[in-house]
Amino acid sequence: QTGAADRITEAVDRIEDGALTGGSRLIDVHAGAYAGQVIVDESVTLRGAQWGVDARTRGVVAESVIEASAASDALIEVNASNVTIDGFSVDGADDAFRAIRVNGVDFATVQNNIITGAVRGMQYNGAAAGNTGGLVSQNLIQGLTTGGPETYGVLAFDASYASVTNNKITSDVGVFEQY
């Protein structure tokens, strides 16, 4: 199904705590365009049409595209630990400041995504205690918003042991880490 991105958020919200565990907490998002912000408040794996396929080399194929429809701080907000976002095209459309933001939670994985159209591609926002763990891998981060502040492919604020590996990033600053 395509349409509003709140359909993806609705699917996340429908997974009740304890209803499914571990690898059973999967949401498959079919190819198509999904406009608007996605909020992830449950531990879950979101799999786009290209999950498991390296974004750096996959070429022109059917994508699950999450795209901004209005200005926002982040197009995808991750507010739960143990979240995986795999196989999407995430387009801030020059409206989202961040394409994906992980907010003070642990073990978020962002892999096999094409990330464009935001000032910041992927950002870990550590809380006072910081983020622990996480993986940013095999993403293509390009075409970030220009004309404003510097663009950043991946930022990590107060994030411990987050691995950033095997990404292709074209931005003013590829990877920035601050404690």
pLDDT in tens, 57-93: 998 899 999 999 999 999 999 999 999 999 999 999 9
Q: What angle do CA 53, 58, 64 make, to 5 degrees?
A: 70
pLDDT of 18 above 60: no
Largest CA distance in the chain: 46
Cα separation, 117 vs 132, in Å, equals 27
Cα separation, 169 vs 141, in Å, equals 5
Residue 28: CB atoms within 10 A of its CB come to: 13
pLDDT of 172 above 90: no
Cα separation, 85 vs 27, in Å, equals 10
DSSP code, position 111: E
> Model-level pTM greater than 0.85?
yes
CA atoms within 13 A on the CB side of 174: 10
Q: What does the pLDDT look like over 86-135, one tens digit per residue? A: 999 999 999 999 999 999 899 999 999 999 999 999 999 876 666 778 89
Residue 171's nearest CA partner among 131, 138, 134, 144 is 144
